[in-house]
Amino acid sequence: MKAVRIIALKHDRKRLLEHLQDSALIHVKHSDDVQDGFARADTSAQLKQFEKNADLTEKALKILGNVAPEKKGLLDGFKGRREIDADEIGDIAQQAAKIIGICGKICRIDEQITDNIAEQARIRTLTAQLEVWKKLDIPLNTGDTNSMAVFIGTLPKQYDEQLLAETLAEKCPELVFELEVVYSSSNVTSIVVFTPKKQKEQAELTLRSIGFSRPLNPTSKIPLDKAKRLAKKSNDLRDKKDDLREQIANYADYRDAIRDTQDYFEMRAEKYRVISELDQTEHVFVLNGYIPEQDCGKLEEICQKVPSAIIEFEEAGDDAPVKLKNNKFAEPAQSASPSKEDIDPTPVLAFFFYWFFGMMFSDAGYGLLLVIGTAIGLKILKPDKSMRNNLKLFQYCGISTVIWGLVFGSFFGDAPAVFWNTFTGSNVTMKQLMPWMLDTQKDALFIMIMSIAFGLVHVLVGMGCKFYVCFRQKKYAEAFFDTGLWMLLLTGLAVLAAGMAFGQILTYIGAGIAIACAVGLILTQGRSKKGIFGKLIGGVASLYDITSYVSDLLSYSRLMALGLTTGVMAQVFNMLSTLFGTSVFGIICMAVVFIVGHAVTIGLNVLGSYVHTMRLQYVEMFSKFYEGGGKPFEPFSAKTKNFKIKNTDE
């Protein structure tokens, strides 16, 4: 990685930044320090406007998606961005104001729909409140007359007219009243009570003592008439909402233009973020950044297009970002951002990822489907780099799965043997068809031992990476004592275990190595402690870490467990598919059960194999050497979602 400084005249700034953005070569350096004699441009107003426009387009697209969903094929999500010529950016810019206006209209119409929905909800609430008053033939807000007090309201329990009259008489024997129960249910009773006006206060106190309350929204209309008016208004609002939705749907043809405009404003926002990082004077500006060493020549060619540009390279400091470079085999598994002290773990991760995934998925038929499916996807869909890497990842996993499927003698489970026997009446086994195979059920113990052996290799590779990192940093004591001795100890224990099966001489060799390394650990692991006693205690206590390594190794038994699961599930569905016989109906049922059953098996076991492979990588091995925390290389580029400029992607 090289640090780069570009100096150019200010009137060439727009042109140079556009070239740099199209090339995606430079990671622009962020710094709060401004060189003496220079200043930074305040682009916050422009940036805010661009981001506002981009957000508006996103909101409009979301509204269009809800009102007029876009019809997409099953594989559309895997397709890459469409390619456009650089000249088309100008056309998009010319249409930007119009498209933003359309987005504004879409959002305003959507706000009307939201208000419409809120009003309908209010009407439903009012209608529900009027439900208990529909038999009332006077308005709810009917007031007192010259001689009579009127009480219209509800009680919180069920009454009939006789019970209510008895209750009021009991509460206030001298009260004179007439009443009518308009509505009654288990938890509410609607009533109208008339009393002489001179007894109004007394009547009100009596009614309140049994829970009387007046309507929340008294109306000057007769309740039934009011309910009819509300129903009509609700229908009108519903029709209006449908009309508003149709207005939005009419803008569906602008969906692609809105997406392009969104990308355009995202590009401009990114450009103005960079402008705010430039050191500038009245006539000159300076751009500081980082560039991979192999791209320096390309950058010089670009700067030659701008006559005033001067370019300087120097060695990058410790704060430089990290850009990983791997071959086609390893790149699909690239995900980490190592620090300066780390090594790039991608090649190691890639090999073991493919290897372990294949061992857990472990069916040649399933692997073949993965290989063919991803190959078709790569050929037809032409996906972007990230999706292409994902497809390549599963393609390599599919190849590994085919290999392991042949090792375990599994091709859609035991489908070849089952169907041959079903249609011919023979009694052929997969072992006869593939004499070399390991039976995941009969050879389960051997496969478990093999899984743990692979795990030991995996862990030792991780520790070897740690040894290399420490050695490169000249931390020789840490390399040899903290890592090397543990590697030898684990190797000695492995030789000791092998000796139990293959010969006593190996037992003696393994035991000797293990004991010597254990003594070495006791003598060196407490070296940071004070005093001989402290050093000795620290060394002895360090041997407890062996439990952690044993636990890690046992985790690799999942390689056997998931491989066994895949095979057993496949065999079960094969057996179920043959239960219907070989008649026409039976063959149809056989095909349905076979396809559905193996689809379920593939879905579950692809997910399980992926998750557990990731766990073995990041928990069991990466913890042995990887620190991470590096700053990824993020070039100044056109970070678009929907289109890419020809010959400038990646």
CATH code of the domain covering residue 203:
3.30.70.2750
pTM of the predicted protein model: 0.75
My answer on whether 340 and 208 are in the same domain is no
- Domain of 209 in residue numbering reads as 141-214
Of 176, 192, 214, the one marking the end of a domain is: 214
Return the pLDDT at 647. 59
Amino acid identity at 96: A
Phi, psi of 645, rounded to the nearest 5 degrees: -80, 135
Return the pLDDT at 648. 45
Answer whether residue 8 is part of any domain: no
Answer whether residue 220 is part of any domain: no
Residue 317 has pLDDT above 80, yes or no: no
Of 150, 182, 214, the one marking the end of a domain is: 214
Instruction: Give the residue ranges of DSSP H helices in 196-312.
Output: 200-209, 223-249, 255-275, 296-303
Burial 252-267 (b: 16+ CB within 10 A, else e): eebeebbbbbbbbbbb
Mean of pLDDT values over 617-642: 81
Answer whether residue 16 is part of any domain: no
Of 190, 214, 238, the one marking the end of a domain is: 214
Return the pLDDT at 649. 40
Answer whether residue 369 is part of any domain: yes
Q: Which of 188, 189, 168 is nearest to 178 (CA)?
A: 168
Mean of pLDDT values over 354-371: 94
User: Which residue in the block uniquely carries the two structure tokens 């007029």?
Assistant: 68
User: CA 254 to CA 258: how far, in whole Å?
Assistant: 6
Answer whether residue 396 is part of any domain: yes
Across 454-463, 501-510, 620-629, the highest mean pLDDT is recorded for 454-463
Answer whether residue 288 is part of any domain: no
Domain count, the chain: 2
Phi, psi of 182, rounded to the nearest 5 degrees: -85, -35
Mean of pLDDT values over 152-174: 92
Three-state DSSP state, 479: helix
Return the pLDDT at 82. 76
Instruction: Give the residue ranges of DSSP H helices in 68-187.
Output: 87-130, 161-171
Answer whether residue 111 is part of any domain: no
Answer whether residue 509 is part of any domain: yes
Q: Mean pLDDT over all residues of the chain?
A: 88
Mean of pLDDT values over 319-334: 85
